[in-house]
Amino acid sequence: MKKRGNILYLVVPCYNEEEILPIASGIMHDKLKSLIRKGAVSCTSKILFVNDGSRDRTWQIIEELCRSDSIFSGLSFSRNYGHQSAILAGMLAARSHADMVVTIDADLQQDIEALDKFIECYNSGCEIVYGVRNDRDTDGLLKKASANIFYGLMHMLGCNVMSNHADYRLLSKRALDALAEYKEVNLFLRGLIPTMGFQSDVVYFDVKKREAGKSKYTFKKMLTLAIDGITSMSTRPIQIITIMGFLVSLFSFAMIIYCMVDWLSGRNVPGYTTSLVVSLLMGGLTIFSLGIVGEYVGKIYLETKARPRFIVESFILRETTDKENGLELTGEGQDICLK
Ligand code: UDP
Ligand code: MG
């Protein structure tokens, strides 16, 4: 097979990560430099931080890092768009510069040492490499339970998602070009990327505890991701409603015949409890079904408006100088700002 280019861009979404960034950036820097030294990746490889509308000093720290070393680059959103948009923006921004992109969380819970294995898979011809966690020991009870329910539900609904694969993954330039063709606003990359096909592989890694700061995935953000995941990948819930509606109609029809027979034979009994239970059940089911249908209608509404999936306020990318290739620092580079 023809050898492919080896410029790697690490895309790191950051939302209020001022506590972890100074530590994480050092570890990422050292890892990338060691990969460069080994010749595993090109010396023009970079770490691209995506600031997802943080309200703390995250962007200032990223700017300082970019100023100190051209191995760092940064992209900043105009507001918080969420983790999925942040990694998508990073990947799309890196597409024209990189041969492969790996997305990794800023908190380094995902083992960065697994990068070597990702690159090996890429070199053996994979276009997509999925990082899958070995266990969930570091997660709290709520996170574990909600993840299990979510993956169980997704599989039941026929969605092709990989259990325990978060967004630690490698995409080649070819896969990125394919991803850029998807214009959907309702983003669920974990479900979307496997539908693209391509030769792929899996790399297993251990998950560590968060070194600093708290989880940025609040319960509300997790719930939104789960609903986005289901509604963007499957229309099975609507089919279930149709089947449920059909069964309920059959039952009602049988009840009507039964009541008519009762009435004709003059055996009318007061059925207070029955009618109350049936009407409550019907009311609940109707509202719930309407809600699910509404969820899809809402998503169609957002898709038809086709609003931008994110707005980039600034983008810093400095060219790697020859001197820096010798691992030395030089002065200011050129900033590219998309205003
Ligand atoms: N994140 C983001 N935007 C958000 C929430 C989270 O970019 O609105 C980033 C966050 O900075 C981190 C990654 O997504 O790099 C994963 O978040 P976190 O570690 O808080 O999630 P957890 O590991 O608890 O699931
Ligand atoms: Mg985390």
State the pLDDT at residue 337.
Answer: 31
Whether the Cβ atoms of residue 132 and residue 204 lie closer than 8 Å to each other: yes
Instruction: Indicate whether 240 and 286 sit together in one domain.
Output: yes
What does the alpha-carbon distance between residue 240 and residue 257 come to, in Å, rounded to a whole number? 26
For residue 16, the ligand 1 atom closest to its alpha carbon is 11
Domain of residue 124, CATH code:
3.90.550.10
Does 156 map to a domain? no
Length of the chain equals 339
- C-alpha closest to that of 8 among 37, 62, 33, 44: 44
Would you call 62 exposed, middle or buried from its count of C-beta atoms within 10 A (0-12, 13-18, 19+)? buried
pLDDT at 327: 39
Query: Residue 315: inside a domain, yes or no?
Result: yes
Tell me, yes or no, whether 122 and 262 share the same domain: no
73 and 84 assigned to the same domain:
yes
What number does the ligand 1 atom closest to the CA of 166 have? 25
Q: Are residues 300 and 188 in the same domain?
A: no
The number of the ligand 1 atom at minimal distance from the alpha carbon of 87 is: 7
**Full residue range of the structural domain in which residue 182 is found:** 8-142+163-218+308-338
Q: Do 207 and 293 lie in a common domain?
A: no
Same domain, 246 and 171: no
C-alpha of residue 164 to centroid of ligand 1, in Å: 16
Give domain status of residue 231, yes or no: no
Strands of the chain (E only): list them.
8-14, 46-51, 72-77, 100-103, 128-133, 169-172, 200-205, 312-316
Residue 114 in contact with residue 206, Cβ under 8 Å?
A: no
- 81 with 105, same domain? yes
Q: Are 168 and 242 part of one and the same domain?
A: no
Q: Which pLDDT value is given to residue 6?
A: 92
Asked whether residue 229 is domain-assigned, the answer is no
In this structure, are 34 and 171 located in the same domain?
yes
Whole-angstrom Cα distance, residue 158 to residue 217? 25
* Residue minimizing CA distance to atom 25 of ligand 1: 217
What pLDDT sits at residue 273? Answer: 74
Q: What total number of domains does the chain contain?
A: 2
CB-defined site of ligand 1, < 6 Å: 13-15, 17, 52, 80, 82-83, 86, 105-107, 109, 215-217, 221
Instruction: Identify the segments of the chain with pLDDT beneath 50.
Output: 326-339
